[in-house]
């Protein structure tokens, strides 16, 4: 029930799951974008379009690209990429989100042979239980790590190595603390009308994770910068930040 600055405090996983179970029941009420982006529908749409416009040139897409989207939510990346890549797998731990994503994709008219949505949590996912076999050319993680404790991020990053091969690009976008780490521990959100738990790490904290785990095996952090223009920012203590890492083909181990 508090806001914790700087100090490291773990989130309670059961409370995070409880929040998403309640939140996902409001898809029809608040809309597909707002239910996961926590903004009014107009701002959520502007942010979604802006994000894709900014990062698309960095994703190295082709008709042969194989994509793994961890924490796919209601599938906002899936339909966007459907006519741009060769295969896509979106995974999420929230059943309502996975069902909504699959339903939307089924109605889209796109070829479904190499596109899948799968119920899997970050803790469960591994190279042996995914619907599309590894490796992947692009891995997307957007708005996921903010709900993970440090130890779970470390575990996830180690797993990403197993999903990667030469040239793999990882796109990560997370809300970050602007000046310092901020943890919301079952903090009541007037905007969401729910108790909300999240860890807003600084961008430097994320960069340290990457440099400690991914860079030693050949990933290079090619981009680390705030995502949105000033007119799309509406928080004083946090901001959306994106990172792009690429597994270099000419790396020396």
What is the token pair recorded at 249?
């083909």
Local structure of 25: helix, strand or coil: coil
**What is the pLDDT, as a whole number, of residue 130?**
98
Surface-to-core class of residue 70, CB atoms within 10 Å of its CB (0-12 exposed, 13-18 middle, 19+ buried): buried
pLDDT in tens, 7-37: 999 999 999 988 888 878 777 666 665 555 4
Instruction: Report phi then psi at 209, rounded to 5.
Output: -55, -50
To the nearest whole percent, how much of the chain has pLDDT over 70? 92
Q: In what order do the strands lie in the sheet with 87-92?
A: 115-119, 87-92, 66-70, 138-142, 169-177, 238-247, 219-226
Computed on alpha carbons and rounded to an integer, the radius of gyration of the chain in Å comes to 17
What is the token pair recorded at 192?
């969401």
**What is the pLDDT, as a whole number, of residue 235?**
83
**What is the pLDDT, as a whole number, of residue 81?**
95
**What is the pLDDT, as a whole number, of residue 180?**
97
Domains of the chain: 40-53+63-122+135-173+184-247 (3.40.50.150)
Under-70 pLDDT residues of the chain: 1, 28-40, 192, 250-253
């Amino acid at each position: 029930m508090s806001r914790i600055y700087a100090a490291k405090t773990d989130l309670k996983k059961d409370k995070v799951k409880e929040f998403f179970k309640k939140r996902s029941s409001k898809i029809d009420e608040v809309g597909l974008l707002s239910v996961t982006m926590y903004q009014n529908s107009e701002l959520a749409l502007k942010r979604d379009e802006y994000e894709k416009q900014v990062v698309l040139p960095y994703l190295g897409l082709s008709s042969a690209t194989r994509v793994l989207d961890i924490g796919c939510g209601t599938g906002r990346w899936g339909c966007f990429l459907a006519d741009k890549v060769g295969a896509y797998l979106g995974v999420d731990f929230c059943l309502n989100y996975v069902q909504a994503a699959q339903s939307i994709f089924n109605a889209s008219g796109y070829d479904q042979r190499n596109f899948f949505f799968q119920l899997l949590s970050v803790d469960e996912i591994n190279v042996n239980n995914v619907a599309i076999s590894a490796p992947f050319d692009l891995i997307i993680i957007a708005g996921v790590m903010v709900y993970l404790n440090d130890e779970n991020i470390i575990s996830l990053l180690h797993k990403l190595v197993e999903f990667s091969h030469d040239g793999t690009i990882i796109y990560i976008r997370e809300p970050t603390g602007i000046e310092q780490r901020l943890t919301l521990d079952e903090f009541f959100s007037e905007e969401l009308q729910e108790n909300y738990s999240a860890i807003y790490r600084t961008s430097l904290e994320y960069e340290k994770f990457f440099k400690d785990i991914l860079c030693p095996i050949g990933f290079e952090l090619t981009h680390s910068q705030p995502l949105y223009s000033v007119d799309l920012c509406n928080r004083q203590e946090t901001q959306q930040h994106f990172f792009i890492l690429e597994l270099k083909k000419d790396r020396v181990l």
